[in-house]
Homo-oligomer: A and B are copies of this chain.
Amino acid sequence: MRPEVLEIPLFVNLLAVFVGALGGTIRAGEDDHTDLMGVLTLAAAMGFGGGIIRDVLLGNLPPAAFREPLYLVAAAAAAGLGMLFLYYLKKLGRFLWWLDTLIIGLFACVGANAALIAGLGRLPTVVIGTIGAVGGLILTDLLQARPSSIMYAGPPNAVAGMAGALVYALVYTGTQPVVTTALAVAATFVVRLTGP
Interface residues of A (CB under 8 A from B): 28, 31, 33-35, 37-38, 41-42, 44, 52, 56-59, 61-63, 65-67, 69, 72-73, 115, 118, 120-124, 127-128, 138, 141-148, 150-153, 156, 158-159, 162
Contact of A57 among B52, B141, B150 (CB under 8 A): B52
Stoichiometry (number of copies): 3
Q: Which 6 pairs between the two chains have the least Cβ-Cβ distance?
A: A38-B151, A59-B61, A66-B124, A69-B121, A69-B123, A145-B147
Contact A34 B152, CB 8 Å, known A52-B57, A62-B58: yes
Nearest CB on B from A52, distance (A): 7
Nearest CB on B from A77, distance (A): 12
Known contacts A41-B151, A145-B147; 17 additional CB pairs below 8 A are A37-B151, A38-B148, A38-B152, A41-B158, A42-B151, A52-B57, A57-B61, A58-B61, A59-B59, A62-B115, A62-B124, A66-B127, A67-B120, A138-B143, A143-B147, A143-B151, A144-B148
